[in-house]
């Protein structure tokens, strides 16, 4: 059954400042949340509520469990409202079961008027509700990481964690420390940002009982003349289309531009063509330009000012693998990099 309250365990390491996993909690990996509403004094689901229940039941990937939470408005006695909230939850449960949700995967609760959505002593439709939350019980780790510059100086940046049903953003303190609640035994993409620095991305899989070394992310400074190869930003051969697995990299690049408003950058396009250098007007040269423009257009579309961006093609002049031996090395040549052209502090 679902457990919506965290139950924190005792720390297992005395080195709290450097412990990457500081403890564990039980919670729910939420898939979706729906709310249905009731007429005053009624416990019957209307057509709108039934439609919502059927949609919820149809959207059940895997073995999700369901938590039902009944509520009322504040009109009437506490006992009467507790009974009404219970009936609303029970009737919703019957409708959920009729729609195909397994009986053993439903948990029912009711709170009467104790958890009002709108603070009102009168009739209020938004309080007459049942909350339906589907998800998976999952064990989580209290995770601590640190952000520093290359020389070890703490940076008060931020971290974004993503997994199948998770997206969480936190800020690091003045010492570069941040904490996240992360699911165990699942791939988590962790993106680290800080103003004036290039970003870093990596995948974590945390498992209880398997200690890992402290995670300290050292970010490279984004100074004039520096450049960054954007990991996982690759293209289909001979095309300007990104590989499907590269699409999630675009929001990371967008976040980088939002985190570093002082930077003006060049998007540098490259191709895989292990031949003689192909100059202006050649097919390879134009392909490199157009690949860089794809990323430029994306950033402009989502609000990055054009004056902060430029794009340029480098044909096959700077292949990371001049003589590629396999598909991975060829893919690495088909890329777009970031080059810092200017650093302009706000107000200058």
Q: Which CATH number is 331's domain given?
A: 3.30.1330.60
d(CA 82, CA 92): 15
Which of 95, 117, 137 is at the close of a domain? 137
Residue 310 located in a structural domain = yes
**pLDDT confidence bin for 55, thresholds 50/70/90:** very high
Same domain, 123 and 231: no
d(CA 330, CA 337): 16
d(CA 225, CA 222): 8
Same domain, 125 and 226: no
Residue 209 located in a structural domain = no
User: According to the model, what pLDDT value does residue 20 have?
Assistant: 81
Q: Provide the β-strand partners of residue 263.
A: 343
| Mean pLDDT across 178-200 | 92
d(CA 114, CA 81): 9
Given a contact cutoff of 8 angstroms between Cβ atoms, the answer to whether 289 and 279 are in contact is no
Model pTM?
A: 0.69
252, containing H or E segment: helix 249-259
Domain coverage including residue 89? 27-137
Residue 167 located in a structural domain = no
Same domain, 243 and 132: no
For 219-229, give one letter per residue: b (16+ CB within 10 A) or e. Answer: beebeeeeebe
Residue 198 located in a structural domain = no
User: According to the model, what pLDDT value does residue 37 have?
Assistant: 97
**pLDDT confidence bin for 171, thresholds 50/70/90:** very high
pLDDT digits (tens, 9 = 90+) for 289-301: 999 999 999 999 9
pLDDT digits (tens, 9 = 90+) for 72-98: 999 999 999 999 999 999 999 999 999
Given a contact cutoff of 8 angstroms between Cβ atoms, the answer to whether 295 and 267 are in contact is yes
Q: What is the DSSP-derived secondary structure letter of residue 184?
A: S
Tokens 């699942």 found at: 186
Cβ-based burial of 54 (10 A; exposed 0-12, middle 13-18, buried ≥19): middle
Number of structural domains, the chain? 2
Given a contact cutoff of 8 angstroms between Cβ atoms, the answer to whether 298 and 326 are in contact is no
Residue 165 located in a structural domain = no
Same domain, 229 and 121: no
Residue 214 located in a structural domain = no
Distances, alpha carbon 94 to alpha carbons 44, 71, 97, in Å? 11, 17, 5
Residue 116 located in a structural domain = yes
Between 191-195, 208-212, 341-345, the lowest mean confidence (pLDDT) is in 208-212
Which of 108, 137, 166 is at the close of a domain? 137
| 4 pLDDT higher than 50 | no
């Amino acid at each position: 059954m679902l457990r919506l309250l965290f139950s924190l365990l005792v720390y297992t390491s005395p080195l709290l400042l450097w412990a990457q996993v500081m403890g564990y909690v039980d919670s729910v990996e939420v898939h979706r949340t729906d709310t249905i509403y009731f007429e005053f004094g009624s416990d019957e689901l209307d057509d709108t509520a039934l439609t919502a229940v059927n949609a919820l039941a149809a959207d059940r990937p895997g073995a999700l469990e369901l938590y039902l939470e009944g509520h009322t408005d504040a009109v009437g006695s506490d006992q009467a409202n507790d009974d009404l909230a219970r009936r609303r939850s029970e009737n919703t449960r019957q409708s959920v079961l009729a729609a195909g949700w397994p009986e053993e995967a439903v948990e029912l609760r009711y709170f009467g008027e104790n958890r009002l959505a709108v603070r009102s002593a009168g009739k209020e439709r938004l309080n007459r509700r049942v909350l339906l939350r589907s998800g998976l019980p999952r064990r989580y780790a209290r995770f601590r990481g640190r952000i520093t510059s290359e020389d070890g100086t703490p940076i008060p940046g931020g971290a974004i964690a993503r997994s199948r049903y998770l997206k969480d953003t936190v800020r690091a303190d003045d010492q570069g420390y941040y904490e996240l609640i992360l699911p165990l035994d699942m791939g988590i993409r962790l993106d680290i940002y800080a103003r004036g620095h290039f970003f870093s991305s990596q995948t974590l899989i945390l498992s209880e009982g398997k200690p890992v070394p402290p995670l300290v992310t050292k970010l490279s400074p984004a100074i004039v003349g520096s450049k960054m190869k954007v990991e996982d930003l690759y293209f289909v051969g001979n095309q300007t289309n990104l590989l499907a697995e590269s699409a999630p990299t675009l929001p990371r690049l967008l976040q980088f531009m939002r985190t570093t408003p002082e930077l003006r950058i060049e998007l540098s396009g490259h191709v895989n063509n292990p031949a003689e250098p192909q100059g202006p007007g050649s097919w390879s040269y134009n392909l490199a330009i157009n690949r860089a423009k794809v990323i430029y257009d994306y950033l402009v579309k989502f609000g990055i000012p054009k004056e902060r961006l430029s794009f340029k093609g480098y044909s096959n002049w700077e292949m990371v693998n001049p003589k590629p031996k396999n598909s991975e090395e060829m893919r690495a040549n088909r890329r777009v990099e970031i080059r810092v052209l200017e650093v302009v502090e706000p107000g200058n």
